[in-house]
Amino acid sequence: MQGKQILVGVTGGIACYKVCDLVSKLRQKGADVHVVMTAAAQELVTPHTFKSLSGNPVSTELFYDPKSVPHINLADKADLVVIAPATANIIAKMAHGIADDLLSTLVLACKCPIIIAPAMNVNMYSNPIVQENLEKLKIAGVKTIGPNSGNLACGTSGKGRMAEPLEIFHFVEEVLHNKKDLEGRKILISAGGTREPIDPVRYIGNRSSGKMGYALANAASKRGAQVTLVTTIIRDVEPGINVIEVETAQEMHDEILSQSCDSDMIIMAAAVADFKPKNVKNEKIKKLEKEGLIIELERTPDILKSLGKNKRKDQILIGFAAETQNLAENALEKLKKKNLDMIVANDVTCEGAGFGSDTNIVTIYDKRGNQKEFPLLSKFEISNKILDYALQMCSG
């Protein structure tokens, strides 16, 4: 981001307060951020807020300075334009080439990549006219992030929520860099926690959210890899990822092993159960007059250990170690015992590194005896660090 000129167009959606965070993040990463606000956006957040956060004057008027042509100056200098939130109005104006204020005029004059983050009421978003406008913009090369589903400011819920500032930030990074250094590589990734049935209604599970595995799959796919994701949890993924849904450790084992020979890199991010009920009941267990219940457990297969045993020389095998104590010692033991190239260890008791979080704090240990600690980062950023590290291991 260092030295990149990023133009952030803010339009009048209530989500514009979240864009303060985006502007701050972009500036912290070294970008030179210029904010352009529409009149409606200024009703919601003042230009002073964005001025303080970006460190640059905020542009609002097409004709404020007779000596300069602001829309051309801003458009010429920008490496990237991101419009967040993008209302149905700006989307319609862009789709039809309408230039009636500073933002709509300057996007017409821009040659750099343009990202929009739509945000609006669910019915507005699904309106065929809005969809047609979005399609037109897509054909014209405008990139879209979101909207997400969830509660909307208008009191309804559904698709229409602006993508989160962190997601937009990563998308900006990706569009700016657009590195495809994993092109031609096949990567197999596991995600989520396995579920071991006790009876038709109950199972033994764990707290894994699958976010780390999904972040890895999305990051690898964005960098050009051909990704297969074996997962117990369904989340949004990049188009093109082959998603295989499983439930138990045995099912995950069978899928992963059948896909493994063909893979250049395997990353086991899933939290696999080590034990499962020995006898799964066909009928729901009734409590009746019982004072307690003993369920006999037996071992599940260790998928990573099997992969380590059959590993090809040119294959990179990566494990995870989620620990609550003796992080380095436990991680290094797993690295060795399972014949891994790398292990990504995290202490789940640290704030920001627990299950379900969007962030993590990890240390990577490799089979050559090296280790690298990373600070608190988003799971997407960590995924890219893991992939960078793995690529370095590949190149010796």
Among 16, 19, 188, 268, interactor with ligand CTP by CB under 6 A? 268
Q: Does 74 bind ligand CTP (CB under 6 A)?
A: no
Q: Which helix (H) or strand (E) holds 26?
A: helix 19-28
Give, to the nearest 10 degrees, the angle between helix 88-96 and helix 102-109.
Answer: 40
Among 214, 320, 380, 389, interactor with ligand CTP by CB under 6 A? 320
Instruction: Give how far Cα 331 sits from Cα of 150, 166, 336, Å.
Output: 38, 30, 9
**Interface region with ligand CTP, contact rule CB under 6 A, candidates 17-25, 116-124, 131-139, 300-308:** 300-308
Q: Does 191 bind ligand CTP (CB under 6 A)?
A: no
Residue whose CB is less far from ligand CTP, 78 or 272: 272
Q: Which residue has the tokens 């458009």?
A: 75
Q: Are 229 and 216 in contact (CB under 8 A)?
A: no
Q: Quick check: is 112 catalytic? A: no
Residue whose CB is less far from ligand CTP, 219 or 304: 304
Count of residues touching ligand CTP (by CB under 6 A): 14
Q: How far is the CB of 210 from ligand CTP (least distance, A)?
A: 12
Q: Does 70 bind ligand CTP (CB under 6 A)?
A: no
Secondary-structure percent of the chain, ordered helix, strand, coil, rounded to 5: 35, 25, 40
Among 8, 37, 106, 304, interactor with ligand CTP by CB under 6 A? 304
Q: Does 274 bind ligand CTP (CB under 6 A)?
A: yes
Distance (Å, rounded) from C-alpha 137 to C-alpha 153? 25
Distance (Å, rounded) from C-alpha 44 to C-alpha 33? 20
Residue whose CB is less far from ligand CTP, 143 or 311: 311
Distance (Å, rounded) from C-alpha 344 to C-alpha 366? 9
For ligand CTP, the binding residues (CB under 6 A) are 249, 268, 270, 272, 274, 300, 302-304, 319-322, 334
| Catalytic positions, written as ranges | 154
